[in-house]
Structure 1
Amino acid sequence: MTDTEKTAVDAPAGTGEGLDARLVVERGTFRLDVPLSAAPGEVVALLGPNGAGKTTALRALAGLVPLSGGHLRLDGAELERTRPESRPVGVVFQDYLLFPHLSALDNVAFGPRCHGATKAEARAGAAEWLERMGLSAHAGSKPRKLSGGQAQRVALARALATHPRLLLLDEPLAALDARTRLDVRAQLRHHLADFEAVAVLVTHDPLDAMVLADRLVVIEDGRVVQEGTPSDIARHPRTDYIAHLVGLNLYRGEAQRHTVRVDGGPAITTTEDLTGPVFVAFPPGAVTLHRDRPTGSSARNLWRCEVVGLETHGDQIRADLTGELPLAADLTTIAAAELDLRPGATVWATVKATQTHAYPA
């Protein structure tokens, strides 16, 4: 276990520092019940499909949605009854929500002014933050004159200028184009690495989560289904959503030594020696496709499938297959052409046991 992981496990409960929350929100038929803790200096990403409750959780932390139950403590202080504007919380919204009539400098100075700083003090602090963000030349610019990346950095500076003990980031890179997103992600990672309090990030993008967060908390249907380090989540997905997120084929079944009988499906041969309920995962790139049943293949796993869809996936073609074992397979454009792949075509899929990964369910 790394020092960061030890801190994440030990800090909130043991020292009273950081975030210690159980967010219970009931809205109509939907119920959110999410325990969430984080140590100072830790970045936690909330992931999940649309409607899972990520944004509701973030708004509850900000005080914009009242809790129906549970608790919310930050550095040992109860926040449930604290007004949103009085909480030591900074928020960066997806659309930035900069004040259109204020310059970049005055947008950043707004928070400190609300917290009692003089105009001169607030503007001096804001100038320092803009310099740290590489935006000194744009201090006098109104938001409409800023690019998306510049506006995002002004919004981050505005959130950090009040020295919050909890920083909330709501899809902070979603409105950026691909090139700008790459640059701003790297800058955001740098600033979060220097942030000494707790940061909670909501994102749909697994790359944002993997790059920016120390720990991932995956929410589905209002509850936590898995949490851990990015590498652990990527290697041991426990739901179809997570498997799709990290790009793996995932199955649940019953293991008998090196053979896993998939629930409602065929057997998969693995290298792990296990007994009992397990998950089996393998990447789409581990799948080899054949138009005719292969003979003399070294692969222990062989299934007859039908192509139901094809789509471009990066620089490859991803085939969506159904049949004995529904799965996704990645292959080059040339390989797809040589196989004459098209929806409705019958293919044989093989996967070597060494390319599968089985782990207890």
Structure 2
Amino acid sequence: MTLEARVVVSRPAFRLDLALRAGPGEVVALLGPNGAGKTTALRALAGLTAMTGGQITLDGQPLHALPPEERPVGMVFQDYLLFPHLSALDNVAFGPRCQGVPKAEARRAAAALLHRVGLADHAAARPRQLSGGQAQRVALARALAVRPRLLLLDEPLAALDAHTRLEIRSHLRRHLEDFDGATVLVTHDPLDAMVLADRLIVIENGGIVQEGSPSEVARRPRTDYVARLVGLNLYRAVAEGARVKVGELLFSTSDRLEGAAFVAFPPAAVALYRSRPDGSPRNLWQARIEGIERHGDNVRVHLDGPITAFADITPAALADLDLTPGQQIWASVKATETHAYPA
């Protein structure tokens, strides 16, 4: 069930050109900011958006010339799009009925799928009677009911509240592990992508900017967008051994390389001082506080200067340092926390 695709969609002010592959049982996540082209790519795979170039093959069979109803594709839409006048059971049975499956057989298969997603007791419920998490599971069962070889998920958790999202994410991961076809997931949430996907494809402005396993992408971001997603400060630099030049600053790093490089370190690794610290920290610079905001259980300090950076400190440290926007401050990060890799 290997998916091989090059999706090209050209519009007056936008062009999507995306090559992707998903193997049997593999979940590939398309991750990117709003307007990057993620949903356009998914709709093109489903045949809901016309391509202006490229091709789509699934297990060697061309899909791009087939109308949507003839593609072996199941799709879960962001808003689920359940039929409001049908019960959960009949929503799930709808796809097989359209494929010519007899009504009784389609309803038996739908009942089995509702049992599989934990909703056997809600078979008679209409969509308005379901919670967000229950509606999501009915939408997944409906997508699986047509026995797809390719499963497409468009922001499947976006409509859920934080508590429900945690539970449904765990359920969804288990269901995807049982699906032996290829799966393409669209999301802008890095946690959804890290938990659900085997491989990430990061899209910006209609093209791929980074691809790899979740751990590879998180460890070595290659754009500011990816760095923000995974919570790292990221800079382009020129490396000479264990020293790298970032703008006018010379940093020591835990890695050795030569030439064009990226340098990254986590905000939590940045230490702040009211005055220049004693001794000689290797990576030290003076900065101006641009802003201060809550960030989870900590406080995120926005720094401007020879480089822009985020520093995460505790509320107690904020009080002890008596930090305020506009203040000049010293910042440092240990060489062991500063990582360089080829650009």
TM bin (shorter chain): over 0.9
**Taking structure 1 as the reference length, what is the TM-score of the superposition?**
0.94
Q: Deviations over 1:259-286 (max 9, x none)?
A: 1111x34111112121111111000000
Which residue among 299, 320, 324 is the counterpart of 1:338? Answer: 320
Q: Deviations over 1:8-59 (max 9, x none)?
A: xxxxxxxxx4100000110112111000111110000001111111111011
Mapped to 1, the partners of 2:98 and 2:256 lie a distance apart of: 62
Mapped to 2, the partners of 1:28 and 1:172 lie a distance apart of: 29
Aligned residues: 343
Alignment match, 2:172 = 188
Q: Deviations over 1:176-216 (max 9, x none)?
A: 00000000000000000111000000001000000000000
Amino acid at match of 2:35: G
Alignment match, 1:169 = 153
Mapped to 2, the partners of 1:112 and 1:265 lie a distance apart of: 64
Which residue among 256, 266, 277 is the counterpart of 1:283? Answer: 266
Alignment match, 1:271 = 254
Alignment match, 1:73 = 57
Alignment match, 1:209 = 193
SS at structure 1 position matched to 2:331: strand
SS at structure 2 position matched to 1:312: strand
Which residue among 275, 283, 288 is the counterpart of 1:292? Answer: 275
Q: Deviations over 1:200-251 (max 9, x none)?
A: 0000100000000000000111110110000000001011110001000001
Matches within 5 A, 1:75-224: 75-224=59-208
Amino acid at match of 2:293: E
**Taking structure 2 as the reference length, what is the TM-score of the superposition?**
0.99
Mapped to 1, the partners of 2:258 and 2:243 lie a distance apart of: 9
Q: Deviations over 1:302-357 (max 9, x none)?
A: 01011111111110011111012210000011111111122111111110000111
Q: Deviations over 1:72-104 (max 9, x none)?
A: 111111111111111100110111100000000
Matched, 1:304 2:289: no
SS at structure 2 position matched to 1:32: strand
1:67 Cα deviation (Å)? 1.0
SS at structure 2 position matched to 1:201: strand
Mapped to 2, the partners of 1:142 and 1:272 lie a distance apart of: 58
Q: Deviations over 1:86-137 (max 9, x none)?
A: 1100110111100000000000000010111110000000000000111011
Amino acid at match of 2:321: L
Alignment match, 1:54 = 38
Mapped to 1, the partners of 2:174 and 2:7 lie a distance apart of: 29
Amino acid at match of 2:174: H
Mapped to 2, the partners of 1:111 and 1:265 lie a distance apart of: 61
Amino acid at match of 2:261: V
**Unmatched runs of 5 consecutive residues or more in structure 2:** none
Amino acid at match of 1:283: P
Runs of 4+ aligned residues of structure 1 deviating over 2 Å after TM superposition are none
**Unmatched runs of 5 consecutive residues or more in structure 1:** 1-16
